[in-house]
Amino acid sequence: MNEATLLWQFLFSGLAAGAIYALVALGFCIVENSLRIVNFAQGDFLTLGGFLMSTFLLAWGLPWPLAALLAVIGVGICGWLLERLALRAAKDRGPLTLIFITIGASIFIRGVIKLVWGKNPRIFPPMVTGEPLRLGGASLAPETLFILVASLVCVVALQLFYRFSRPGKALRAIAYNFRSAYLVGLPVGFLTSFSFFLAGAIGAVAGLLIVPITGVSFDTGVILGLKGYASAVLGGYGSFPGAILGGLLLGLLEALVAGFISSGFRDVFTFLLLFLVLAVKPSGILGSSEEERA
């Protein structure tokens, strides 16, 4: 396989990984725009979605569209419960307390997964099968193409929801000015809970997409959550277009580093890049500074 073919192959795998990172990053941005905190349970939403999907699909024998829908709704409800039962009661204690609560929720979710499903990884068959496509001499598996298309659909649907629907516009108002949104009578409590439902649902979608390729274990969400956070920071924390750009860029860079330098350096590179962005341009590529956001 020549270098040009290798490059195309790495680009395809990088785009698939980047699409997953972008979905996780979108979940971080949804929560950031409602409560201005980092939800460290976001990666565990991905893990929980993968395990629920495996149960509905393999143990219960449901068709995969129904299994996927139930998994997404189930994890969305878990996100809603996290905000409603844990975060809302401590909302007046400051952002740091809320962040610690999300860390505790992350540990709790991993413990529940180990208790219910055990430590053995789970995997289920690809949702799309067929002959791989040949582009530039490289192979593009149907499942990889499905990941890219599904991620694009989720991103477009989320953008349309925030731009044109009344709940989406209300969530944008909360993100712009929480106090003013409350004073004009918007149901801030419900909308904040709903934002966590959306974050959980988006995390579950990422889990459904990645499990047929890599499988899922109880701690899968830890590293993927950190990479999703790195993607959000890289693109501009709180920016939806930035989350997409950051995720795809991180996936591509990781694939090139793993392919042409060393696969063992892949994760190290991600966190070196995160530290560099935080040191040089904390607002990210498309993000705005705190002064501009205020």
Q: Which domains does the chain have, with CATH numbers?
A: 3-293 (1.10.3470)
**According to DSSP H, which parts of 165-219 are helical?**
166-176, 178-183, 188-214
Residue 1 binned pLDDT confidence (cut-offs 50, 70, 90): low
Residue for token pair 């629920």: 52
Q: Which residues contact 19 (CB under 8 A, 6 or more apart)?
A: 147, 148, 151, 152, 209, 247, 248, 251
Q: Tell me the per-residue pLDDT of 208-226, one tens digit each, with 9 for 90 and over.
A: 999 988 889 999 999 999 9
CA distance 43 to 158: 19
For 24-32, what is the mean pLDDT?
Answer: 93
CA-closest candidate to residue 79, choices 197, 222, 207, 171: 197
In the predicted structure, residue 193 carries a pLDDT above the cut 90: yes
CA distance 4 to 47: 35
